[in-house]
Amino acid sequence: MLLKESREEIVKYGNKMLESNLTTGSGGNLSIYNREANLVAISPSGLPYYETRPEDIVIVNLQGEIIEGKLQPSSELNMHLIFYKNRPDVNAVMHTHSVFATTISCLNEEIPAVHYLVAFGGNKIPCADYATYGTQELAENAWQSMGSKYQVGLLANHGLLAVANDMSAAFNSAEEIEFAAELYYRTRAIGEPVILNESEMDLMQEKFKTYGQVQKNQKVE
């Protein structure tokens, strides 16, 4: 079985997406790029996460050709591949249908720096123009919106996309931005949120590079 560890990780994080209310059923998709093998492991199309087994994960090359697997890969395969082809820092992609991020996307609006945790995705969270799901147009819109600058973006009237060096980081970013999206929704419901300035958000992004166990004496409060 090719990319056994990546397959197992996709199954694990597919279930974590459900447990964390980042999606429902078979909504969204996720993949891992193994640069050494030059192959991508991606969730299959339309199969509920709680039913997915490692052998159901599809292995493709960067041209989207199936190398191993009996099922069809996610319909959003092109959206994953466009980031692997163009960003050497990206080895994992997670697409969710989380409620609050998707709510903002249905306004076709970005999420501004309403909270410093927005810095997990960038100085803000941009929103890509709408395109039909599963199309090359949607992949290109996502890439145009996020490019090399953002780790997280919204897809208009659709959901959220998170890219990272590994799946753990992609999942963490998706969770944090869903939290920020809920804050933005709630603050707009009762007033006008105060937005952090760009220099503060630049600082936050630098601090997050060493956040966690890299420097044990540093924590976010």
SS3 93: strand
Do the domain assignments include residue 58? Answer: yes
Beta bridge partners of 92: 32, 164
Tell me how far apart the alpha carbons of residues 44 and 117 are, in angstroms, rounded to a whole number: 31
**21 touches 98 (CB < 8 A):** yes
Q: pLDDT tens for residues 72-98?
A: 999 999 999 999 999 999 999 999 999
How close are the terminal C-alpha atoms of the chain, in Å? 43
Do the domain assignments include residue 213? Answer: no
Burial annotation 6-17 (CB, 10 A radius, 16+ → b, else e): bbebbbebbebb
Exactly one of 55, 65, 76, 176 is catalytic; which is it?
76
What are the CA-CA distances from residue 182 to residues 10, 48, 175, 186 (Å)? 26, 25, 11, 6
Do the domain assignments include residue 172? Answer: yes
Do the domain assignments include residue 173? Answer: yes
Q: Which residues constitute the domain of residue 34?
A: 4-208
Q: What is the pTM of this model?
A: 0.93
**Number of structural domains found in the chain:** 1
The dihedral region occupied by 135, where left means phi > 0, alpha psi between -120 and 50, and beta the remainder, is: beta
Do the domain assignments include residue 139? Answer: yes
Do the domain assignments include residue 221? Answer: no
Q: Give catalytic status of residue 5 as yes or no.
A: no
Do the domain assignments include residue 217? Answer: no
Q: pLDDT tens for residues 99-133?
A: 999 999 999 999 999 999 999 999 999 999 999 99
pLDDT beneath 50: ranges in the chain? 214-221
Q: Where are the beta strands (DSSP E) in 61-170?
A: 66-68, 92-96, 127-128, 152-155, 159-164
Do the domain assignments include residue 174? Answer: yes
Tell me how far apart the alpha carbons of residues 211 and 44 are, in angstroms, rounded to a whole number: 33
Tokens linked to 2: 């090719």
pLDDT of residue 52: 97
Vertex 177: Cα angle to 148 and 109 (nearest 5):
75
CATH classification at residue 71: 3.40.225.10
**160 touches 105 (CB < 8 A):** yes
pLDDT of residue 58: 98
